Amino acid sequence: MIGTEKLSLLGGPKAVRESHEPMFKWPIITEEDEAAALQVLRDGAMSGTNITKQFEQEFAEWLNMDYALAFNNGTNSLLGAFYGCGVGIGDEVICPSVTYWATALPAYALGASIVFAEIDPVTLCLDPNDIERHISEKTKAIVVVHYLGHPADMDPIMEIARKHNLKVIEDVSHAQGGFYKGRRVGTIGDVGAMSLMAGKSFAIGEGGIFVTNDREIYERAIALGHYERYNEEIKTPYLQPHAGLPLGGYKFRMHQISSAVGRVQLKYYDERINEIDKAMNYFWDRLEGVPGLRAHRPAPGSGSTMGGWYATHGHYVPEELGGLSVTRFCEAVRSEGVPIGPGCNLPLHLHSLQHDADVYGHGKPTIIANASRDLRQPKGSLPVSEGIAARVYSIPWFKHYEPAIIDQYVEAFRKAALQYNDLLAGDSGNPEKLGGWNFFRQKAD
Ligand SMILES: *Cc1c(COP(=O)(O)O)cnc(C)c1O
């Protein structure tokens, strides 16, 4: 043990010899979830709002916020948040380039443009030092993602936003329940929007939700796509006269099987992610000091946490492993019986949608359709975002604290890193495109 057995890729024994399905199964569904879902079916209440409103209230109480608004998915919770914050024609929204597309793309539907900023190479979240150079008179909001579970550095971001009178939207889809310096992520900016789809750590089916203390943001989002709640309860004066129809022509209502399951999941969520946190921290503690490998997590004792550790990743330092490519490293770990891969989300600013797609027939690219300047960002403009894929890899997402099992996975990573020298000969480097636009599809392929 401890990394000295011959690499499986080179003919040695595997570090992980059997599958550990219960370790990875998620979400945890019990008879209580099943009963809640069945009750919705038996009541014929699939399309109502009564259960959803209970879920919203409990979710808001959980995060100690005034309002929670449920959506049929996370993408639309972000669209609602953008509109809630007043994002409209010609406005610019600053967003990290490395994230899932739904963090940013809904802005186009409102006639706004996206300006991509760098990520910090350690947190992998929006770099506070790369925001101000992107601010113009048209900037309306900053979208922050607590990427791969790691809380973004909110203090300097909020300071910049206040200084320039910008709204801050937190995309909490990777980090539900996480903390930033003792405060829950999603409660620090003007609105915290998130996915609750089945692959996320807070998993209820297809669904999304946002939380805010700002009644106007809440009511604008209702007006955009919750027609059944756009009535005399809406207090914002300029919204009142148009009640009855959704202003955006959208319909955002959450399916009540999702909200019923969500109510049950919420009861156990903190307890379950605490166990994930313990398991994942154990994994990284055991790899402490192994060359080339670094944990992606906030410093212990900082008051910041990784929430449910969605889409767990690690940092890779090829310089410490004779330049071994992350692709070859992952190949060796996979051969040990651990299904992982290199890279993360591809940088959005390089996709053709951000350069030449004319989606709505403006006669020019959508990204500049209503813009007052050319916002297209060429290759080379965001070097950290463009290079990060070669320095990260996925790791197993342990749901239970079972040291004896986790140790086998630790051994796989340790073997590959400590015996990097034997892997150099067969290393043909990284492919040009490393990572994907979409984790979920990567998994299903
Ligand atoms: C999943 C995800 C979304 C979108 O949520 P859906 O529920 O899939 O619509 C938005 N932002 C991020 C960062 C995500 O990972």
CB of 73 sitting under 6 A from ligand 1: yes
- Tell me, what's the pLDDT at 435? 87
Evaluate: CB of 146 within 6 angstroms of ligand 1. no
Q: How confident is the model at residue 439 (pLDDT cuts 50, 70, 90)?
A: low
pLDDT score at 124: 98
Pairing of the two strands 167-171 and 139-145: parallel
Q: Does ligand 1 come within 6 angstroms of the Cβ of 342? A: no
Residue 170 CB–ligand 1 contact under 6 Å: no
Q: What is the pLDDT of residues 180-236, one digit of tens each?
A: 999 999 999 999 999 999 999 999 999 999 999 999 999 999 999 999 999 999 999
CA of 32 to the centre of ligand 1 (A): 26
- Over residues 20-64, the pLDDT tens digits come to 999 999 999 999 999 999 999 999 999 999 999 999 999 999 999
- Tell me the two tokens of residue 208: 């999304």
CATH of domain 8-27+269-345+387-443: 3.90.1150.10
Residues 258-277, mean pLDDT to the nearest whole number: 98
* pLDDT tens-digit readout, 157-173: 999 999 999 999 999 99
Pocket flag, ligand 1, residue 171 (CB < 6 Å): yes
Distance 208 CA to ligand 1 centre (A): 8
Residue 155 has pLDDT above 70, yes or no: yes
Give 74 Cα–ligand 1 centroid separation in angstroms.
Answer: 5
Cα 100 to ligand 1 centroid, rounded to whole Å:
7
Q: How far is the CA of 90 from the centre of ligand 1 (A)?
A: 24
Determine the average pLDDT of the residues in 73-82: 98
331 Cβ below 6 A of ligand 1: no
How far apart are the CA of 77 and the centre of ligand 1, in A?
9
pLDDT of residue 15: 97
| Alpha carbon of 98 to ligand 1 centroid (Å) | 13
Residue 421: its pLDDT value, please?
A: 97
Residue 336 Cα to ligand 1 midpoint, Å, equals: 31
**Model pLDDT, residue 442:** 47
pLDDT score recorded for residue 332: 98
Q: Please state, for a pLDDT cut of 70, what percent of the chain lies above it.
A: 98
Q: What is the pLDDT of residues 388-422, one digit of tens each?
A: 999 999 999 999 999 999 999 999 999 999 999 99
Q: How many CB atoms lie within 10 A of CB 308?
A: 29
Q: In angstroms, how far is CA 76 from the centroid of its own chain?
A: 14
Cα(127)–Cα(339) distance, integer angstroms = 30
Residues of the chain with CATH 3.40.640.10: 31-263
Ligand 1 nearest atom to the CA of residue 75, by list position: 9
% of the chain residues with pLDDT over 90:
96
**Mean pLDDT in residue range 91-113:** 97
What is the atom index within ligand 1 of the atom nearest the CA of 196?
A: 7
Asked if pLDDT for residue 445 goes beyond 50, the answer is no
Class of domain 31-263: alpha beta
The per-residue pLDDT for 4 is 86
26 burial level (CB within 10 Å; 0-12, 13-18, 19+): middle
Q: Is 74's C-beta closer than 6 angstroms to any atom of ligand 1?
A: yes
Ligand 1 within 6 A of CB of 99: yes
φ and ψ of 336, to 5 deg: -75, -5
Query: Which is more confidently placed, 81 or 444?
Result: 81
Decide: 197 in ligand 1 pocket, CB within 6 A.
yes
Q: How confident is the model over 102-126, as a mean pLDDT?
A: 97
The per-residue pLDDT for range 306-357, each reduced to its tens digit, is: 999 999 999 999 999 999 999 999 999 999 999 999 999 999 999 999 999 9
pLDDT score of 444? 39
**Residue ranges matching CATH 3.90.1150.10 in the chain:** 8-27+269-345+387-443
Q: How far is the CA of 70 from the centre of ligand 1 (A)?
A: 14
The mean pLDDT of the chain is 96
Q: Which residues contact 402 (CB under 8 A, 6 or more apart)?
A: 23, 279
The residue-averaged pLDDT of 226-252 equals 97
Residue type, 174: H
pLDDT at 437: 78
Q: What digits encode the pLDDT tens for the residues 292-311? A: 999 999 998 999 999 999 99
Q: What average pLDDT does the segment 252-272 reach?
A: 98
What is the pLDDT at residue 48? Answer: 95
Pairing state between β 392-394 and 313-316: antiparallel
pLDDT of residue 406: 98
Give the burial class of 133: count Cβ atoms within 10 A of its Cβ; 0-12 exposed, 13-18 middle, 19 or more buried: exposed
The pLDDT value given to residue 198: 95
289 burial type by CB count under 10 A (0-12 exposed, 13-18 middle, 19+ buried): exposed
Q: Which residues contact 35 (CB under 8 A, 6 or more apart)?
A: none
pLDDT at position 436? 85
Q: Closest ligand 1 atom to the C-alpha of 199? A: 1
Higher-scoring residue by pLDDT: 316, 442? 316
